Amino acid sequence: MKIIMLGAPGAGKGTQAQMIAEQYGLPHISTGDIFRANIKNGTDLGKEAKTYMDQGKLVPDELTVRILLDRVAQDDCKNGYVLDGFPRTIPQAEVLDAELTKLGDQIDFAINVDVPDENIIKRMSGRRACLKCGATYHIVHVPPKQEGVCDKCGSELVLRDDDKPETVKNRLSVYHEQTQPLIDYYTKKNVLKTVDGTVPKEDVFKAIISILG
């Protein structure tokens, strides 16, 4: 089962992707995680990706596609995977479809987690991250035991540049311009399913499970 998660940044698609991956025993492939790992390790690719991410811009297709196709060719993706953060544009979707077609394969479901922009801006400005171990929190929904301190490693928590309100607005406008057309793309392929992302995450997950069966 090959699943794509769609939705604006901060819609909660990453959380749902993780839950789906656990439920069905599939790898959860997040381009954001791959980029962050490269940034943390100071690779050339990471440095290049960071210049875009810090400005709230999308990482160019060629960088993203190269990493992703290599990842889905690995053994643990034999029975499927959950893609989170890819494809973000129609050209990426077309490249992915072309590569899968060569393998006699295709995407089974594109799940769109739908959340209004104003909800997203509120959600993301409350996020806090530990740059040392990668743990993430939310000042309202998942607060750390001690304010500003990571539960796992005791390091300082920060509001990442890409979670600041002005960057989030920028990311949302980029999303609406470049990524939203994917909803039409996957609708035409009869694989798109939309769920309400404003309800509690457990209810979002139930709605997704009922679609996937």
Give the phi and the psi of residue 158 in degrees, each rounded to 5.
Answer: -130, 155
Q: How far apart are CA 45 and CA 42, in angstroms?
A: 8
Q: What is the pTM of this model?
A: 0.76
CATH of the domain at 93: 3.40.50.300
Q: Are strands 127-130 and 81-84 parallel, antiparallel or unpaired?
A: unpaired
Q: Is residue 99 part of a domain?
A: yes
Q: How far apart are CA 61 and CA 148, in angstroms?
A: 35
Q: Is residue 141 part of a domain?
A: no
The tens digit of pLDDT for each residue in 83-117 reads 998 898 899 999 889 888 988 889 999 999 999 99
Q: Is residue 158 part of a domain?
A: no
Q: How many domains does the chain have?
A: 1
What is the extent of the structural domain holding 34? 2-114+166-212
Q: How far apart are CA 42 and CA 36, in angstroms?
A: 10
Q: Is residue 143 part of a domain?
A: no
Which positions are annotated as active-site residues?
A: 13, 88, 127, 160, 171
Q: Is residue 150 part of a domain?
A: no
Q: Is residue 183 part of a domain?
A: yes
The tens digit of pLDDT for each residue in 145-176 reads 999 999 999 999 999 988 899 999 998 998 89
End-to-end CA gap in the chain: 11
- Rama region for 210: left / alpha / beta (φ>0; ψ in -120 to 50; rest): alpha
